[in-house]
Amino acid sequence: MSAEDTTTSTEPLPLEGIRVIEFSHMVMGPSCGMILADLGAEVIKIEPRGGGDKTRYLPGSGSGLFPAFNRNKRSVQLDIAEAVDRDIALTLIDSADVVLENFRVGRMESLGFGYEELSARNPRLIYCSLKGFLTGPYGERTALDEVVQMLGGLAYMTGPPGQPLRAGASVNDIMGGMFGVIGILSALRVRERTGHGQVVNSALFENNAFLVGTHMAQAQLSDEPLRPMPTRRATWAVYDIFRDRDDSQVFVAAVSDGQWRDLCDEFGLTELADDRALADNQGRVDNRDRIHRVLQAALSHLSLDEIVEKCTQRGLPVAPVNTPADLTADPHLVASGALAATALPTGERVDVPLLPLTFDGAHLPKRSDVPAPGEHNGIYRDGEPETAHDRDDDVPDREEHAPDRTEERVQSP
């Protein structure tokens, strides 16, 4: 199947006809909104007047946040503390299926945009609130991904002993957004039966606890204290990073008796293959250091490509140690159409991943690029008619399937 075949479809998108009003910044809220947008929802991102969402302008490692999580959305600038903009926002919400927000605790309520106020106007509204903590003693605390990684034991498990280290991606923010989507989809299903919306809450800390749940269980089942991943007690003898002849790093694993025999056969490890003490997994774990020395000596004569090819043809788990920068040219991602070239308001273009799922073999497409601040003010705020340019013209064949919501478009009061 070609890349083109996997990125287009004439079928309607799953959430076409669903309108989402997004009040968010940073990662957790925008990732939730983008997943809904990729699934076909009309996601209207509310940004402050002026420069818009400050996440657009973060430097350094934050520079990729806005490009990664804001495609397929529409941008409207409103100051909801001002009467006119407040009325426009409320009218938008009256026509919406979902509101999602990830601002500090109490912020939306202080502006009159809490669930109680909005559901009184729109009883079918699903209100997704994304926070640092669910209800409990920590409920009012300020949280970041780092905060909950430290508090929730993930940083302890990631770094070497005495050196807690945050994961190399915003795992709780992104997964928290994903759980928000799961909650929203479930609430939409409930609304089909009851006709009423509800509040959906997702939080960073509880998400982090979910991530480390296996380690929590291990701690309760074992008499030994938990060891961070770099010094964990081995489960298999070969499940580690080795080096090729040029000192490049490669991960190689053998997690079954069959894989162990294939590894020995493929790399000529006769000494190990003939040793009865290594016939079962426990024996191999007990002799892990010796196995590593012999295997590393064999790999030191081979190139990275040769190691990968040999492991792949025998069905052995293998991976070169790449950087994220390598993924834009990854042959699998490129050939399968898993990346989307996305234009930014600055004129730059970046390749970012599409959602990691397909429907009948097709990726959900990028229908529109990252919007400029207030790019859709005219449609939703200023009463200007929508033009063909404003619509998602990257996938014109889907337009005929979309429900007609023309009468719901908000005009200026």
Region of 126 please: left (phi>0), alpha (psi -120 to 50) or beta.
beta
Position 387 confidence tier, pLDDT thresholds 50, 70, 90: low
Instruction: Report how far residue 388's alpha carbon sits from residue 289's, in angstroms, rounded to the nearest whole number.
Output: 65
3-state SS assignment for residue 257 = helix
Backbone phi and psi for residue 42, each to the nearest 5 degrees, phi listed first: -85, 105
CB distance 100 to 32 below 8 Å? yes
pLDDT (tens digit per residue) in 348-385: 999 999 999 999 999 999 999 999 999 999 999 998 77
From CA 33, how far away is CA 30, in angstroms rounded? Answer: 5
- Cα separation, 70 vs 56, in Å, equals 10
Pull the structure tokens for residue 377.
């003010």
Distances (CA, A) of 403 to 55, 212, 412: 32, 42, 23
pLDDT digits (tens, 9 = 90+) for 30-89: 999 999 999 999 999 999 999 999 999 999 999 999 999 999 999 999 999 999 999 999
Q: How far apart are CA 332 and CA 320, in angstroms?
A: 14
Domains of the chain, CATH where assigned: 19-214+337-381 (3.40.50.10540), 234-322 (3.30.1540.10)
Helix (H) or strand (E) holding 207, with range, is helix 204-211
pLDDT at 94: 98
pTM: 0.90
Q: pLDDT per residue over 295-353, tens digit each? A: 999 999 999 999 999 999 999 999 999 999 999 999 999 999 999 999 999 999 999 99
CB crowding 88-119: b at 16 or more within 10 Å, else e: bbbbbbeebbbbbbbbeeeebeeeebbbeebb
Other beta carbons less than 10 A from residue 158's beta carbon: 18
Cβ-proximal residues to 378 (8 Å cutoff; 6+ apart), any chain: 384, 390
